[in-house]
Each structure stands twice: as structure tokens, then as C-alpha cells.
Chains A and B, each alone.
Chain A
């Protein structure tokens, strides 16, 4: 649960502010889990309404009730929507997708990405402040010595929006974020069937496949769950092998904390090479089979 990960920065901020942590959840189980991780007070917001975004007003009411100095919300698309709504109602500033957070000089000091990954900056927000945090920025903390209290509150959700059909992506069982090794494929591959070259290499390396935005969203050769980039997954594997992928900032921001980055590309001036520890200038159609064979030995 993403909110579990948010408990880690929350516990740090609690030390600085010396204020209790209130956790808001949309299920009783989640509320109990957050109390067990150190939330002083966990609240289960209970409603007949099913649209998650429809809880924004109710969440604002709870935030006001708790007189929160800092509000942390998971940086999913829904989370960011709700966070910005709550920030506006609070007349507060908000930092989107904070990578680090601390309190300094009475402000929330966060670091974040700018210009699609080209730059980083520090962003100071006066209190009270809202911050969203992307999945896997933090790990969940260990269980607290004394769990907090749990309360159930009945709330109304936004009746103005009608929720229609919900179509889940379908659990492909793929989670590239836990893979130790990834082979990322780009549009240097000419057709879907050619991805087999990468699959063969992945089998030998015991790696998972990942891909660029174009391969997932434009070509639909691989599911979205495998797409690495600013609007996709962020990964930190031991090995990130980018094949036929140019390496633009929007992609690299999703994999730049990989331990070792390797690139295979025909274009010596592709930006991926500046971001790589090891680079092979060559045709993937030639290099991949040779590499697969060499690694089998």
C-alpha cells in the first residue's frame, strides 16, 4: 500500500514538528495497517460512494479537523488530483512528487524533478503544505511499538460525478520495479516479433523486459506496466540494458538510479550513451544474438 510508504517520511516530519500523525484510509483494513505502522490516529472514511476522487471534499474536512501542518498523499494520478483539490481548499501550496522532504525554517523543504527530468530543484512550501510522493520513493517503516487508534467516520462523496464502467488493465502479473535486471526495448526494433531477440537475452540473464513509451503506448507491443519513464514506472535495478532506445530525458528519469546502465544502439550520438556505463555501438539485430550466445557459455 502506497500510504504505508508515506509513513516513513511522516514519522521523520513528526519528529521535526512534534505533531501527531493522522492517517486517512478508504478501507478499515488500510486504516488498521497504518495505525500499526505508527499513525497516532487512523480514520476509515466510510461511504456508499465508489468513486475514489469523490472523497476529496471529505478528505479536506478531515485535514481541517486535524489542523494538519503537512498533508502527504500518494503520487498516483488520483492522488495528485485529490491533493491539488485539498491544497486549493486549504489555500495552501503543494509540491508534486517530492523525492525528499524535511522541515526547515518553518517550511516544508522538498526536492523534485523539473523540465521532464532535465533538472532537479529544491522547493520550499510555507506551512500548512501538501506534498505528493510517488510509489517506491520510500520503503514502509517497520511496525510501531504501540499502534495508533482507529476510528470510522461516515462521509459523503461527490454526487455530481457519475461513475460508469471501470476497466482494470488486467493483472499481467508483471512488476518490473522488483526486477534485479531489466532489458528495455525501444523502437530500434522494427516489429513486435523481433522482441524475441530481447526475450532470449532476458532468459539467459534472468531479466525482465521493460520498454520505452513508444513501444507501449504507440506500438502496443508490450503492456503499459512495462513502460519506464516520466509517466510510467520508475525502476532501480542492478542492471538496465537499453536496446534500440534513444535515451531521452523523459525515459531516463525513470531508470537513472539503476546501478549499471548498458546501451546498445546504432547511433553513436544517441543520448543514451551519455547516460550509460557501458555502450555498444552496433545493430541490435547483430549484437543481441551474439550477446545471448556469449552469455550462455
Chain B
């Protein structure tokens, strides 16, 4: 059975992020951390593969110091061990830097037969990590999977694309990215949460990855982040009589030239 590694990101929960009305900037002060939604599916898929075929799965994460908050959560979801890189570079890291760091870590702790990622992170949703990792590691990638199985050395999957599905398979090491519909991530049981504290975690220092300084310099930088606020008329019809509301709506539609 394949030796699996799942990569995950510790993100801010976008549901907790508020838009400040005065300047449309984002207020993330109340935002709690979470393992990115699609990464939870990746962790779950790896856990399911291991439960079916045996073996074990490792987890790997790269983030700022806050990444330490994720370790127990990740371990309670199936992985036997989690490797973590906590570095200030993660604050401004773009997809290129992230892939450089993860690939270097994988070269250090691997090799792995199957590397799993979510289709994108729930915050930035760049959707680049899996394909970048594959390019850097010199192995194929199968992205946007709705189904995955690993029988011996062969990884078979069904990709769900805009125009339909396609079945693909690879013999040998491969990177995959999974869709949220591939599975329903478990809610860890008390036993799994308690078991997590007994599982090992290992810090990897950026300095030990053999990266060049330019590998940690982002090529893409974000600025002018503004909350998107709709400027709409917000005309509300709340009469107790549905017929009255409908009449008013009809008038509104007519005034817009829609009917």
C-alpha cells in the first residue's frame, strides 16, 4: 500500500472575518484558526485509504507560529505523525514559496508514494499547490478528484471537470488534489482526540531545508485587500399579505424595465 503524505494549511475561518464599513478593510481579529476545509477532505481521504489498505499516513504543514495550534487537530483525524514548519516567511508566502518549502520538506522526510492536497485553500483558493509540487518533485499530478483508490503501486482516480469526469491512473509516486465531495471528514471522537496527544509531531526548521534565499521570496504579493460590499437598493417588501408584496414587487420589476 502507498506511503501517504497529506499537506494541510492552517487558515483563518473566513466566516469570522468582518468587513469594516468605514474603509472596507478586513477585520480578522475575531477569526479562529481551522484546518482549511478542502485539506480536511484530503486528510480524511488519506485516513480512509489507510483504514482500507493498511499502512500509515503522515501530515505536513507550513505556516507561521500559529501552526502549532493545528497539530492536535490534524493528528485526531487519522495521520500517525505530523511534520510542521513554523516560520515567519509563511506570513507573506505565495504559492511559489509554499511549494518550494513543502517540496524541500518532502525531499527530506520522504519519499512518499502518494501526496494528497485539498483542491485549494479556503482562504486564498489559489489552487496551485498540488500541481506545483508535482512539477518540483518531478512526478505526475491528478487534480480535482472525486474518487481515489490505491491498490498496490497503482493509484486510480476519477477527476471531476467542468464538462464531465475522467478516470486516470498512475503507477508510481503521484500528487493528488481532492474535491470536497470526495468524502465527509469525520468529527474526531473523544478517543481520537485523546489519542492525538500520544502521536508524535516533529518540527522541521526552514534553515535545514537547503533552500536558497530567493526560494523564500514571494513572486506574487497582495495589496489593497478590500471587502466586497454590494451596493444594492435593498428595497424590502414585508407586508403580512403575500399578495401585497407581490404587487409591489411587480411594480418594482416594471420600474426596472424587466417586465
What separation, in Å, do the CA atoms of A125 and B165 have in the docked complex? Answer: 33
Q: A118-B19, A121-B223, A274-B232 are in contact. Are A262 and B168 (CB under 8 A)?
A: no
A126 interfacial by beta-carbon distance below 8 Å = yes
B233 interfacial by beta-carbon distance below 8 Å = yes
Chain B interfacial residues counted at CB < 8 A: 75
Contacts of A259 in B (CB 8 A): 256
A116 interfacial by beta-carbon distance below 8 Å = yes
B224 interfacial by beta-carbon distance below 8 Å = yes
A84 near B131: Cβ-Cβ < 8 Å:
yes
B89 interfacial by beta-carbon distance below 8 Å = no
Residues 258-270 of chain A, each 1 if its beta carbon lies under 8 Å from chain B, else 0: 0111100000100
What separation, in Å, do the CA atoms of A287 and B39 have in the docked complex? Answer: 41
A163 interfacial by beta-carbon distance below 8 Å = yes
Contacts of B253 in A (CB 8 A): 239, 260, 262, 278
A residues 149-183 touching B (CB-CB < 8 Å): 158, 160-170, 181
B residues 237-258 touching A (CB-CB < 8 Å): 237-238, 242-243, 245-247, 249-250, 252-253, 256, 258
Could you say which of A86, A91, A116, A164 contacts B168, with CB atoms under 8 Å apart? A164
Contacts of A123 in B (CB 8 A): 220-223
What separation, in Å, do the CA atoms of A96 and B128 have in the docked complex? Answer: 8
A281 near B236: Cβ-Cβ < 8 Å:
yes
Contacts of B130 in A (CB 8 A): 81, 84
B249 near A280: Cβ-Cβ < 8 Å:
yes
What separation, in Å, do the CA atoms of A27 and B123 have in the docked complex? Answer: 36
By beta carbon, the residue of chain B nearest A159 is B140
Contacts of A208 in B (CB 8 A): none
A66 interfacial by beta-carbon distance below 8 Å = no
Classify the secondary structure of B's interface with A.
mixed
Could you say which of A165, A274, A279 contacts B167, with CB atoms under 8 Å apart? A165
Residues 126-139 of chain B, each 1 if its beta carbon lies under 8 Å from chain A, else 0: 11111111111001
What separation, in Å, do the CA atoms of A95 and B181 have in the docked complex? Answer: 25
Could you say which of B161, B247, B258 contacts A239, with CB atoms under 8 Å apart? B258
By beta carbon, the residue of chain A nearest B143 is A81
By beta carbon, the residue of chain A nearest B225 is A121
A77 near B259: Cβ-Cβ < 8 Å:
no
A85 interfacial by beta-carbon distance below 8 Å = yes
Chain A interfacial residues counted at CB < 8 A: 80
What separation, in Å, do the CA atoms of A118 and B230 have in the docked complex? Answer: 10
A181 near B225: Cβ-Cβ < 8 Å:
no
A160 near B140: Cβ-Cβ < 8 Å:
yes
Could you say which of A93, A164, A290 contacts B246, with CB atoms under 8 Å apart? A290
What separation, in Å, do the CA atoms of A239 and B216 have in the docked complex? Answer: 47
A residues 238-270 touching B (CB-CB < 8 Å): 238-239, 249, 252, 256, 259-262, 268
A147 interfacial by beta-carbon distance below 8 Å = no
By beta carbon, the residue of chain A nearest B18 is A118
B223 near A295: Cβ-Cβ < 8 Å:
no
B166 near A165: Cβ-Cβ < 8 Å:
yes
Contacts of A124 in B (CB 8 A): 220-221, 223
Q: A85-B141, A163-B166 are in contact. Are A118 and B258 (CB under 8 A)?
A: no
Residues 270-288 of chain A, each 1 if its beta carbon lies under 8 Å from chain B, else 0: 0001111111111100110
By beta carbon, the residue of chain B nearest A293 is B246
B242 near A84: Cβ-Cβ < 8 Å:
no
A88 near B169: Cβ-Cβ < 8 Å:
no
Contacts of A181 in B (CB 8 A): 258
B219 near A85: Cβ-Cβ < 8 Å:
no
Which of the listed residues A94, A162, A170 has the most CB atoms from chain B within 10 Å of its own CB?
A94
B161 near A78: Cβ-Cβ < 8 Å:
yes
Residues 85-108 of chain A, each 1 if its beta carbon lies under 8 Å from chain B, else 0: 111110111111000000000000
What's the least CB distance linking B104 to chain A, in Å? 13
Q: When A and B form their complex, which 5 residue pairs have the shortest distance between CB atoms, in order from nearest? A: A93-B219, A164-B167, A88-B135, A84-B131, A84-B128
Interface pairs (17), CB distance under 8 Å: A51-B166, A77-B144, A77-B159, A94-B95, A95-B220, A121-B222, A123-B220, A125-B220, A161-B169, A169-B164, A262-B252, A268-B236, A277-B256, A278-B249, A286-B242, A291-B250, A294-B250
